[in-house]
Structure formats: C-alpha cells, structure tokens
Chain A
Amino acid sequence: GQQLNQSPQSMFIQEGEDVSMNCTSSSIFNTWLWYKQDPGEGPVLLIALYKAGELTSNGRLTAQFGITRKDSFLNISASIPSDVGIYFCAVPGGSNYKLTFGKGTLLTVNP
C-alpha cells in the first residue's frame, strides 16, 4: 500500500524559532493534508493542498505541495508554546478517499 515517510519524528525547539517538517512518498498524489493533534483530542485540519506547486498559508503555518506530487512540506514560523502537539501529513485515496497518514512529528516548544 501507500507509504508516507514523515520527518523529523520529533523536534525540540525554543519559542520564537521556525519549524520545518516534510512528508515524502514514492507515489504521486492529487491532495496533501496536514493535521495537528493535541493530547486527548482528535486531529484538526490545518491546511489542504490540491495542486502541485501550491503554497498555502494559515496564519503562521505555510504548506507546499511538491512539484513532483510526491512530497509536501509544512513550515511554522515564530513558534509559540501552543504549537506543541503531533503534526501528521495525510493523503486521501480510493473511492472513499481513505486517508493514509505519516507517522507524525512530535513538536515540543520550550518557552
């Protein structure tokens, strides 16, 4: 089946720093999704990307759909403590758009 390689697995940064994470695959996709999950909560959709090369922002978050359609990047600028959580990339597939998830990036922000 499809596999997404998400990196890094975890990050420890200082408040105010910028963060970058990415997902890669050997398969081509038409949509990339980025979610954030806080402990004990369901994932929240941050950004959805639909076109190769697309660059989309949501506040301090910016995500890009790789031009090869095999990868995507998520950047967080000027991190704050509430950015702490697990970030997942995901791609939909099949007739029901079932999601394949990356293994997640655990972000810790030191105040």
Chain B
Amino acid sequence: GAVVSQHPSWVICKSGTSVKIECRSLDFQATTMFWYRQFPKQSLMLMATSNEGSKATYEQGVEKDKFLINHASLTLSTLTVTSAHPEDSSFYICSARASGRAEQYFGPGTRLTVT
C-alpha cells in the first residue's frame, strides 16, 4: 500500500515553454501533497505544500507564479513549471500524506531538463 506515482518520469523542454508534472496517490486519499526539488548530492528542498481544494502554501524564495500547483482531488496534484529556463532543470519529487498520518510517501521523481 501507500503508492505514489509521478508522470512523466523525465521531460526535456525548450526554454520559455511550460511543463506539467502529475502526482497521484494510487491507493490512499492524500489530504496533503508536497512538492520538492532536489539538486545533485543534496537533500530534498520543500517547494510548496498543498491541501485538497485549497491554495498551495509556498516556501520562502519559491515563486508561486512560476511554479503553479493544483490539488483538485484527494488523489491528484499537479506542478506546472511556467516559462521554464535552464536553471529550472532539476529533479522534482512529490509526496503525499493521508489524513491523520505523519508519514509522507514519495513519488519516483521527475527529471526536468530545460534546453
């Protein structure tokens, strides 16, 4: 149980275009979903927290107009990187938490490369 999927697993896009990443909880309802970014050989950096049906809460320094997050249902959250630039190239990972539970279950990650 507690499986989280992400799609796509990798994507290459041109500078200036937008990319959408999906995160799904497959066998539980995710009250809260989280989006992280990870640079090589570093720990995960939280970008934003989203609760189903509410606006996402962004961490300091994360541009909410650039990283659009939608959590429209209890099993799906999306992250859209708008007007992507090469510096947005990174490994993006989502996680999900069920109501009343502290543990987060992570997706397999999405490798974004902006050329």
Closest B residue to A38 using CB positions:
B108
Give residues of chain B (84-115) contacting chain A, Cβ–Cβ below 8 Å. 91, 93, 95, 97, 101-109, 111
Contact status B32-A97, CB under 8 Å: yes
Nearest-neighbour CB distance to chain B for A47, whole angstroms, equals 10
Q: A28 interface residue, CB < 8 Å from B?
A: no
* Interface of chain A residues 68 through 111 with chain B (CB within 8 A): 88, 92, 96-99, 101-104
Q: In the bound complex, what is the Cα–Cα distance between A98 and B48 (angstroms)?
A: 10
List A contacts of B101 (CB < 8 A): 97
Contact of B44 with A by CB under 8 A? yes
Contact B102 A92 (CB under 8 A): yes
Q: Report if A104-B43 is in contact (Cβ < 8 Å); known contacts: A92-B102, A96-B32.
A: yes
Residues of A at the B interface (CB closer than 8 Å) are 30-31, 33, 35, 40-45, 48, 50, 88, 92, 96-99, 101-104
In the complex, besides A40-B91, A92-B102, A104-B43, 15 extra interface pairs with C-beta distance below 8 angstroms are A31-B102, A33-B102, A33-B103, A33-B104, A40-B111, A42-B109, A43-B44, A44-B106, A45-B104, A45-B105, A45-B106, A50-B102, A88-B44, A97-B102, A99-B46
Chain B residues proximal to chain A, CB less than 8 Å: 2, 4, 6, 32, 34, 43-44, 46, 49, 51, 57, 91, 93, 95, 97, 101-109, 111
